[in-house]
Structure 1
């Protein structure tokens, strides 16, 4: 793995770029797993020595803990998982987009590995999550 504090990029790292993927169909985190994941991400908060910052619509993974709550102190964002609480049912969570930063990409992270680390707290992997049911859009309204 590369050193995130290095400013130069080697030949293999030059191609590393931010990766953003819309999860289609969206991944659904069942209620029991969602509760466990939320508790674990809160316990692993960057402000208290962990690597995650869980907000209502975004779970962000950093390369190292923050110096103090609210002060990243040089830590780099590895990636983010965009979520919605309460869909499709009240206690489930929907994952609809995942972004791996340039630094995260250089460190070898992928959309799947980022999700799997967070979802692993609920004994899930992204590939095993139930998927949202996509319905056919309604016919266009005509006068």
Structure 2
């Protein structure tokens, strides 16, 4: 799904706070299923505040008025995720952005993540982390 306020979420807008989660947080299979179900039930187009796609979960301050009608809703933040990694049924959280609007309301990277991950009984601080391998040797001819 496209974020209608920032069509290129990889490039933060002025005033946004973006944090790369290092090492990346891993959402185990059972929690991942619960989170995806709960985010779908809380979809912004159907009375909720989340817009969840396969690579981006966006949190809004209020529901939209139907499909793609923001109805004045303001974006709080985005959680960048990768499904099926490191194993088929897990989800990796690797970057989180809180908008300037969200920060004014007191949202942080942790509170944004904790709200979403809480649907799976997790907090960002409690998530398992990826294992960082050794840096590969430079390629030489």
Flag whether TM exceeds 0.5 (same fold). yes
Within 5 A, what are the aligned runs for 1:1-143?
17-143=15-141
Flag the structure with larger Rg.
1
Alpha-carbon shift at residue 124 of structure 1 (Å): 0.1
- Hey, what's the Cα distance between the residues in 1 that align with 2:88 and 2:16? 32
Helix, strand or coil at the partner of 1:142: coil
Q: Which runs of 5+ in 2 are unaligned?
A: 1-14
Give the Cα–Cα distance (whole angstroms) in 1 for the partners of residues 41 and 105 of structure 2.
24
Secondary structure of the structure 2 residue equivalent to 1:105: helix
3-state SS of paired residue (1:25): strand
- Which residue number corresponds to residue 13 of structure 1? none
Query: What is the SS of the residue equivalent to 1:78?
Result: strand
Runs of 4+ residues over 4 Å off in structure 1: none
1:142 Cα deviation after fit: 1.5
Query: Which stretches in structure 1 are left out of the alignment for 5+ residues?
Result: 1-16
Distance between the aligned counterparts of 1:41 and 1:69, measured in 2? Answer: 16
TM-score by length of 2: 0.89
What is the aligned residue count? 127
